[in-house]
């Protein structure tokens, strides 16, 4: 089996925001300049620069509409889904050839392809994903069918002999990358990083509903 090509993605402004210590200056909306809550605000994907932008509530609501602003900015949804009826095969992780226990996948609309990324000491590292591999590993999942391009991701975690899979907002994936980059120590990450990773996924599991539950809301 060939080894997948890997490259470290350029650190976008969104990732630097999650990885670096908080700045003392107040946070502002990157579209209109309005002050925003530093710890509780929305994000948008800048599809031209492939980065995350902080947004105030009015701007976030505006760009929830398809095609607003020419389609350059897309608001990241606040949707968390799980599909407990679809259990990922034990061989999925080996098929995807991800060298760590966590990875996330999103569809890049401009390139019309799936992107596979995983946390590393250097930031988010990309692993080239063959379309046939994706189809074999995850193509039959309902979560893959529901995935919104650019703004949502499938977040996977290998735990012992099983693989957890959630549909999540793409910004929390970069938040996770920043946290792991900040906390990781040694070969296995260290106790603090492992505890933080477990707490992170516990929080996602508590928020995630099934596709049926989401449709009823």
Spell out the SS3 assignment of 150-187: CCEEEEEEEECCEEEEEEEEHHHHHHHHHHHHHHCECC
Q: Which of 35, 58, 75 finishes a domain?
A: 75
pTM: 0.83
Instruction: Give the residue from 195, 203, 197, 153 showing the smallest Cα distance to 178.
Output: 197
Q: What is the pLDDT of residue 2?
A: 39
> pLDDT over 90 for what percent of the chain?
42
Mean pLDDT of 84-111: 85
β-pair type (6-8, 42-46): unpaired
Residue 91 in domain:
yes
Same domain? 126 vs 55:
no
- Secondary structure class of 40 (helix, strand, coil): coil
> pLDDT over 70 for what percent of the chain?
86
Output 208-216 pairs: Cβ under 8 A, ≥24 positions apart.
Answer: 208/80, 208/81, 208/82, 208/166, 208/167, 208/168, 209/80, 209/81, 209/82, 210/81, 210/82, 210/83, 210/84, 211/81, 211/83, 211/142, 211/143, 211/146, 214/79, 214/81
Who's near 80: CB < 8 A, 6+ residues apart?
A: 166, 167, 168, 169, 204, 207, 208, 209
Residue 2 in domain:
no
Domain with 26 in it? 9-75
β-pair type (123-127, 6-8): antiparallel
Flag whether pLDDT at 10 surpasses 50.
Answer: no
Q: What is the pLDDT of residue 4?
A: 44
pLDDT tens track for 132-145: 888 888 877 889 99
Same domain? 84 vs 71:
no
Please tell me the total count of domains within the chain: 2
Same domain? 149 vs 106:
yes
pLDDT tens track for 174-199: 999 999 989 888 777 788 988 999 99
Q: What is the pLDDT of residue 217?
A: 65
pLDDT tens track for 142-166: 899 999 999 999 999 988 878 899 9
Highest mean pLDDT out of 86-90, 123-127, 167-171:
167-171
- Secondary structure class of 57 (helix, strand, coil): helix
Q: Any idea what DSSP says for residue 2? A: P
Flag whether pLDDT at 24 surpasses 70.
Answer: no
Strand order in the sheet with 81-82: 6-8, 123-127, 113-120, 102-108, 152-159, 162-169, 81-82
Same domain? 68 vs 90:
no
């Amino acid at each position: 089996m060939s080894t997948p090509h890997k490259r470290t993605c350029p650190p976008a402004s969104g990732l630097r925001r999650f990885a670096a210590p908080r700045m003392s200056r107040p946070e502002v909306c990157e579209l209109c300049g309005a002050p925003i809550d530093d710890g509780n605000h929305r994000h948008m994907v800048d599809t031209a620069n492939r980065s995350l932008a902080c947004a105030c509530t009015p701007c976030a609501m505006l760009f929830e509409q398809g095609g607003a602003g020419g389609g350059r900015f897309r608001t990241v949804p606040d949707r968390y889904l799980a599909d407990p009826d679809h259990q990922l095969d034990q061989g999925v992780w080996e098929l995807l050839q991800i060298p760590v226990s966590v990875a996330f996948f999103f569809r890049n609309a401009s390139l019309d392809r799936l992107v596979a990324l995983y946390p590393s000491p250097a930031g988010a590292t990309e692993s080239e994903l063959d379309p046939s591999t994706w189809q074999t590993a995850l193509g039959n999942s309902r979560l893959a069918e529901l995935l919104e391009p650019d703004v949502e991701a499938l977040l996977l975690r290998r735990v012992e002999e099983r693989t957890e899979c959630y549909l999540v907002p793409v910004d929390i994936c970069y938040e996770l990358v920043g946290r792991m980059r900040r906390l990781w120590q040694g070969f296995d990450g260290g106790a603090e990083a492992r505890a933080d990773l477990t707490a992170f996924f516990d929080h996602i599991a508590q928020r995630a509903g099934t596709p049926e539950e989401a449709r009823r809301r």
